[in-house]
């Protein structure tokens, strides 16, 4: 089911939660709303669900305008971070709850509800737990039950609000893999909120990076990580080294090195910043496109070499990460000076001081 948002605005008194949000989510896609706390992710999710109403803009689901459609009629499954299961109900009854409370004319027979609940228990791999109560389950199992309950009503779209946020790292990793496999089976349009970059990049078909109620970038996981559109996306998605530079018509001067100006840069000449992933700053021989760094410390973690250093000209602290294969026969040592070059970088005009 395709979801279309156009010009969505939402304010809470003097606070602007969402400003001019435009987004298309294709049918069957898994879309991640990614950003820091307060970026508007959950507010946008609740507007799609009908739990909040936009002050301006339009929302269409499957081509239908949702402005006058009540939350109960949107056929949306919602999974909360903290499960929201009924502690006094068995797992089987929790899953069937959404069907039991339907109006009499659309409510299935009791046995049909139990059959649907048992079918979903098998789907989430909890067949033996139907008679248990939520307090008798692990966090990961409870989240699976919450997902099964959301699926019981046969939703047109599935919404998940920080679904793994309350779980420990190992369980989160296992559930991410399981959710991706489940999505590939169901092909249900799914939108999930997260502030975990790894989670979004691993799970999603489409990533929407948000900050302060605005969309910073929309793209595939590879696009937003490898070609960030803004300085915020560069720094939020993974680590990035930020260095001041001077932008000329065909060159970029940074730390005494001269780099070629990227063909896609359309900003003004003058003061700028380059952003480089730690693994894209690579050791090389001294030449015009390399600059020196002074190494402060070296830490080897398996095949990875993590280096803390400062640039020689600007004394800017930088963290680097290399594979041992990049360093040939000898590891660098604290106190040494090393020449590095940027194999790939992003270029932006210098940000104005607030």
CA distance 292 to 163: 45
Count other Cβ atoms within 10 Å, centred on residue 76: 23
What per-residue confidence (pLDDT) applies to 323? 84
Helix (H) or strand (E) holding 41: helix 41-49
Closest by Cα among 12, 74, 82, 69 to 43: 12
- Tell me: the pLDDT tens digits for 31-74? 999 999 999 999 999 999 999 999 999 999 999 999 888 888 88
- The yes-or-no verdict on residue 170 having pLDDT over 80 is no
What per-residue confidence (pLDDT) applies to 60? 95
DSSP E strand stretches across the chain: 3-12, 15-25, 30-34, 56-61, 64-65, 76-79, 157-161, 189-194, 206-211, 214-219, 241-247, 251-254, 257-260, 270-276, 281-283, 291-301, 304-311, 317-323, 337-342, 346-349
- Tell me: the pLDDT tens digits for 88-128? 999 999 898 888 888 888 888 889 998 988 988 888 888 88
What per-residue confidence (pLDDT) applies to 208? 97
Q: Categorize the per-residue pLDDT at 217 as very low, low, confident or very high, splitting at 50, 70 and 90.
A: very high
Write down the mean pLDDT value for the chain: 89
What per-residue confidence (pLDDT) applies to 58? 95
Q: Which tops the pLDDT comparison, 174 or 290? A: 290
What per-residue confidence (pLDDT) applies to 83? 67
- The yes-or-no verdict on residue 18 having pLDDT over 60 is yes
Q: Would you mind telling me the total number of residues written for the chain in this entry?
A: 354
CA distance 106 to 102: 6
Give the pLDDT mean for 243-248: 94
- The yes-or-no verdict on residue 24 having pLDDT over 90 is yes
Percent of the chain with pLDDT over 90: 47
Give the pLDDT mean for 281-310: 89
Contact (CB, 8 A) for 311 and 243:
yes
Give the pLDDT mean for 184-204: 90
Question: What are the φ and ψ backbone dihedral angles of 71, each rounded to 5 degrees?
Answer: -55, -35
Contact (CB, 8 A) for 292 and 279:
no
- Tell me: the pLDDT tens digits for 118-159? 988 888 888 889 899 989 988 888 888 888 888 888 889 999
CA distance 153 to 140: 21
State the DSSP code for 185: H
* Per-residue tokens: 27: 């049918």
* Per-residue tokens: 288: 């015009």
Question: Domains along the chain?
Answer: 3-232 (3.40.50.300), 239-349 (2.40.50.100)
Give the pLDDT mean for 178-206: 89
What per-residue confidence (pLDDT) applies to 144? 85
- The yes-or-no verdict on residue 9 having pLDDT over 90 is yes
- The yes-or-no verdict on residue 305 having pLDDT over 80 is yes
- The yes-or-no verdict on residue 86 having pLDDT over 80 is yes
What per-residue confidence (pLDDT) applies to 259? 93
Contact (CB, 8 A) for 213 and 33:
no
- The yes-or-no verdict on residue 166 having pLDDT over 80 is no
């Amino acid at each position: 089911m395709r979801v279309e948002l156009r010009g969505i605005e939402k304010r809470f008194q003097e606070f602007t939660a969402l400003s001019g949000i435009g987004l298309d989510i294709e049918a069957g896609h898994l879309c991640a709303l990614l950003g820091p706390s307060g970026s508007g992710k959950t507010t946008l999710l609740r507007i799609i669900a009908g739990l909040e109403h936009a002050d301006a803009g339009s929302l269409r689901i499957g081509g239908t305008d949702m402005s006058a459609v009540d939350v109960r009629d949107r056929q949306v499954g919602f999974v909360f971070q903290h499960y929201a299961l009924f502690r006094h109900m068995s797992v089987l009854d929790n899953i069937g709850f959404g069907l039991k409370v339907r109006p009499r004319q659309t409510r299935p027979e009791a046995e049909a509800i139990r059959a649907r609940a048992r079918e979903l228990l098998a789907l989430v791999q909890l067949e033996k737990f139907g008679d248990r109560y939520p307090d008798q389950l692990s966090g990961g199992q409870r989240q699976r039950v919450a997902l099964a309950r959301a699926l019981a009503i046969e939703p047109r779209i599935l919404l998940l609000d920080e679904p793994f946020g309350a779980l420990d790292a190992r369980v989160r990793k296992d559930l991410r893999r399981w959710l991706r496999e489940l999505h590939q089976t169901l092909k249900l349009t799914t939108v999930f909120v997260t502030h975990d970059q790894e989670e979004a990049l691993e799970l999603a078909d489409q990533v929407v990076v948000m900050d302060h109620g605005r969309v910073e970038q929309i793209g595939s996981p590879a696009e937003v990580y490898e070609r960030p559109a803004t300085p915020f996306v560069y720094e939020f998605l993974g680590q990035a080294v930020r260095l001041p530079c001077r932008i000329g018509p065909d060159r970029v001067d940074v730390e005494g090195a001269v780099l070629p100006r990227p063909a896609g840069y359309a900003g003004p000449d003058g003061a700028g910043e380059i952003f480089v992933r730690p693994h894209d700053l690579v050791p090389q021989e001294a030449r015009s496109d390399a600059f020196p760094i002074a190494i402060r410390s070296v830490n080897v973690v398996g095949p990875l070499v993590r280096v803390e250093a400062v640039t020689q000209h600007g004394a800017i602290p930088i963290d680097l990460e290399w594979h041992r294969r990049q360093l040939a026969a000898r590891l660098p040592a604290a106190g040494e000076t090393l020449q590095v070059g940027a194999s790939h970088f992003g270029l932006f005009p210098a940000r104005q001081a607030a």
